[in-house]
Amino acid sequence: MQNLRRQLQDGDFTVVVNRFAAADSPGPAEYEFRYLARAQLALGRYDQARETVRLTQRYHPKDPELYDMLGAIHTAEAFSRSEFAGTEKALAAFTHALELDSSRAHSLFNIGLLHGYREQAALADSFYRRALSVDSTLAVAHKKLGLLRREQGELAAARQYLTQALRYAPDDVEALLYLGLTERSLGRMEDAAVHLERAAELNPLSPQVHSNLAGVYMRLGRRDEGRQAIRRSELLRKFDRGIGSEKTVLSHQTAVSVAPTTARYNRALHLALTGDRVGAEREFLHLIEVLPDHADALSALGLLHFWRGDAVGAIDYLTRAVKVDPEDAINLARLGMVLRRSSESSAALDTLRRAAQLDTTLAEPVFELAMIYAQTRRYALAESLFAKTIELSPENPEAHLNLGVARLRQGDTDGAVAAYRRAVELDPEGERAQAYLREALQQQRSSAAPAKGSP
């Protein structure tokens, strides 16, 4: 049994399932089938997991842990199929577990998660606090209360809860990140740097962590470190890895944790990076089954929908990501980008301006703002913002290309030629930049009509 428990904690779910499949009749001890159900749940085999739990319930019809597990299965399946009514079955199962044993902290916490998804903040808050009244060491409950307080603008209370979360789970990257952001909002930059540095140490592959750390460094005057963190964030953003952190220890004494998010998030990223966007979307949906406020997964789903041409779906997911953390400049920039490309210029302007204010080191919102101004023929503003984009991201060929267009529209042919040349240097295969350069050079030589290029 110890081996089974360790394999579950390590994420070796297929190994656990295969061990049971290979067992001779009568097979492992009846109690060990709980581990099989957990592994089946983690692999998304909901029917099998439910059948395993019900089989075990024949022997233990009043075991509250089994109802907790059944609730987790109902929740995961409902969200994976976007059948949100299924959460009623989950709520009933978790409630039944409490009726059998009113001191189950994880049951209370799981009910709080469901209410949180339904945007019933007061109920979620109540159940998280009830969970803590049973088990004051439940780190995820402290963290959830901290995030709720932060959303409500109660920064001092948020700081207190997040500090407690880290007392019991010191390596929770999400708690470190949001405590760092809360300290930043409170003006405690040195403390913010300490927490964000620790988050970056624990998860060096998160662009969100490095981006926010860069902003804190800049405010502290540590510009070299800030620029280094910016470069790291920009590089990582191409392979966007988030912070997934709500992986709780599985044991025979606690309710099943709802999802091992780090493993699932990394699996989804791997699928996306290898071109399997359908598989990636499926995994991201699994991830938010019971963690609906996982901002990085919501953001990733937004991008996947945008790439397949579903702007409405993209805006929905990105809006949800921004709601989770209104001060996440990266997700604000992504939302602004999709709004801009959906011709919702007014909403895009507000969103992008907010992103640019929150993180002055990000090039993306500045570039998107420049594109809006260029498309509305405000070329002087566009030129200044394209130039600012280049300061933040000097090797961005699109910024140089559009800087050239903005200059040409204002009659600065020489400046346009210089910008186009740089765009071609950065992207020698870019046909548009080559065409624009040829036209600008022709105009330079013969004073012909303005180039046809447009942002």
pLDDT tens for each residue of 273-292: 556 788 888 888 877 875 78
Q: How confident is the model at residue 19 (pLDDT cuts 50, 70, 90)?
A: low
Q: What is the mean pLDDT of residues 285-307?
A: 84
Tokens for 10, please give them: 């390590």
Cβ–Cβ under 8 Å, residues 378 and 409: no
**pLDDT tops 80 at residue 192:** yes
Report the alpha-carbon distance of residue 286 to residue 77 in Å, rounded: 8
Report the alpha-carbon distance of residue 120 to residue 105 in Å, rounded: 19
Please indicate, yes or no, whether the overall pTM of this predicted structure exceeds 0.95: no
**pLDDT tops 90 at residue 356:** yes
> For 23-66, what is each residue's pLDDT tens digit?
444 344 455 667 778 777 777 788 888 888 888 888 888 989 89
Report the alpha-carbon distance of residue 12 to residue 177 in Å, rounded: 28
Q: How confident is the model at residue 389 (pLDDT cuts 50, 70, 90)?
A: very high
Report the alpha-carbon distance of residue 3 to residue 309 in Å, rounded: 46
How crowded is the C-beta side of 190, counted as CA atoms within 13 Å?
0
What are the backbone dihedrals phi and psi of residue 63, each rounded to the nearest 5 degrees, phi first?
-90, 110
Query: What's the pLDDT score for residue 251?
Result: 35
Q: Say which residues have a Cβ less than 8 Å from residue 435's Cβ, sequence separation at least 6.
A: 453
Q: How confident is the model at residue 230 (pLDDT cuts 50, 70, 90)?
A: confident
Cβ–Cβ under 8 Å, residues 82 and 51: no
**pLDDT tops 50 at residue 250:** no
Average pLDDT, the chain: 82
Give exposure, 254-290, as e/b (b: 16+ Cβ within 10 Å): bbbbbbbbbbbbbbbbebbeeeeeeebbebbbbbbbb
10-24, 266-280, 334-348: which has the minimum mean pLDDT? 10-24
Report the alpha-carbon distance of residue 422 to residue 405 in Å, rounded: 13
Cβ–Cβ under 8 Å, residues 294 and 261: yes
Q: Regarding predicted confidence, which is higher, 207 or 21?
A: 207
User: CA torsion 165→166→171→176, rounded to 10°?
Assistant: 90
Q: How confident is the model at residue 101 (pLDDT cuts 50, 70, 90)?
A: very high
Residues belonging to the chain: 455
**pLDDT tops 90 at residue 407:** yes
Q: Cis peptide before 26, with omega less than 30 degrees from 0? A: yes
Report the alpha-carbon distance of residue 331 to residue 195 in Å, rounded: 21
Q: How confident is the model at residue 260 (pLDDT cuts 50, 70, 90)?
A: very low
Pure H helices in 139-187:
139-151, 155-168, 173-185
Tokens for 379, please give them: 């070329």
